[in-house]
Amino acid sequence: MQTKSSKTLNRTFAVAPMMDWTDRHARYFLRLISKHSLLYTEMVTTGAILHGDRQRFLDFNAEEHPLAIQLGGHEPDELAKCAKIAEEWGYDEVNLNVGCPSDRVQNGRIGACLMAEPKTVADCIKAMQDACSVPVTVKHRIGINGQESFEQLVEFVSTIAETGCDTFIVHARIAILEGLSPKENREIPPLKYDWVYQLKSLFPSLSIIINGGITTLGQVQEHLIHVDGVMVGRAAYQTPYLLADVDKLLYQCKKPAPNRHQVIEQFIPYIEQQMATGTRLHHLTRHILGLFQGLPGARLFRRHLSENTHKPNASIDVLKTALSKCTELSLT
């Protein structure tokens, strides 16, 4: 169990919770690039915490702070128990998922389908707030099919805000709950950033964080003119060096970010430590495939890792050989 961070949360820039991607190894790696970005876990269901391997789902590295956990559930009592556990575990924020559109999640009455039940969400948020003292936040869409008007979005937010919840992370697309895959739900419904801006205008006392389709820090800065923070998802994972300028541009940090070479040098001891406990090399290096995106040798770097890290006897030498493919940034 980790020591609880005493830092005040700054949500100017956050990396989104992404299933199968933002595990503890990915978060440790991203933290090497940006010290101030708020990081989120993958969504963890209440059942996994209450009835599963708690250490597997909740453990993290102390270096990951500031760190929020995202919970998936719909029962206030279960979410309250999990929020209390998460606080005791050392998380800085507890977030409720009301945005995931996948069939598997819907079948558990989790995620975006709960946008049709604002009172249920409010009951969940209130129970979580009563159970813990860390911030409780909600991540949601601007609507779902059949509930697609701005007025319904306002009703949803106002209902939740009555609990005292003051932070809303808004994915600026509706979720279509039938007929589209999660991937299609990230691409097909049109982005309506203006709706999120209008929410901030209507609820100036709330902290409104915008999410969806944001791929550059220039876009981040434009959004920050209108809202309190920006959450970036796939771009932060697939091109992680995007985070290198976050601390300087958004947090006025004077210390220069490490270059890609230095990031890998700092990550190698962590990889060796994790491999010594039985973690396979692939489970660690899969998160760094996009580090050299756009540079000479990037494709060879990715290919070498992809083809060799799965092998039973793969060692740290596989990574060092892959680095040599990036001639300008290879280890010496």
pLDDT in tens, 190-228: 999 999 999 999 999 999 999 999 999 999 999 999 999
CA distance 67 to 236: 16
Tell me what pLDDT residue 79 has: 98
Please confirm, yes or no, whether 82 is among the known catalytic residues. no
What are the chain's domains?
13-251 (3.20.20.70), 260-325 (1.20.120.1460)
CA distance 121 to 217: 32
Pairing relationship of beta strands 229-232 and 13-15 according to DSSP bridges? parallel
Instruction: Quickly list DSSP for 135-156.
Output: -EEEEEEEEETTB--HHHHHHH
pLDDT-derived band at 2 (thresholds 50, 70, 90) equals: very low
Tell me what pLDDT residue 252 has: 95
Tell me what pLDDT residue 181 has: 85
The predicted model gives 172-189 an average pLDDT of 89
CA distance 148 to 154: 11
Token pair of 316, please? 């740290």
CA distance 6 to 4: 6
pLDDT-derived band at 261 (thresholds 50, 70, 90) equals: confident
pLDDT digits (tens, 9 = 90+) for 11-31: 999 999 999 999 999 999 999
pLDDT digits (tens, 9 = 90+) for 230-253: 999 999 999 999 999 999 999 999
Tell me what pLDDT residue 327 has: 58
The predicted model gives 158-186 an average pLDDT of 93
Tell me what pLDDT residue 325 has: 81
pLDDT-derived band at 106 (thresholds 50, 70, 90) equals: low
Q: Which residues contact 226 (CB under 8 A, 6 or more apart)?
A: 193, 196, 197, 200, 210
The total of other beta-carbon atoms located within 10 Å of residue 60's CB is: 20
CA distance 212 to 195: 13
Q: Of the listed 82, 100, 113, 326, which one is catalytic?
A: 100
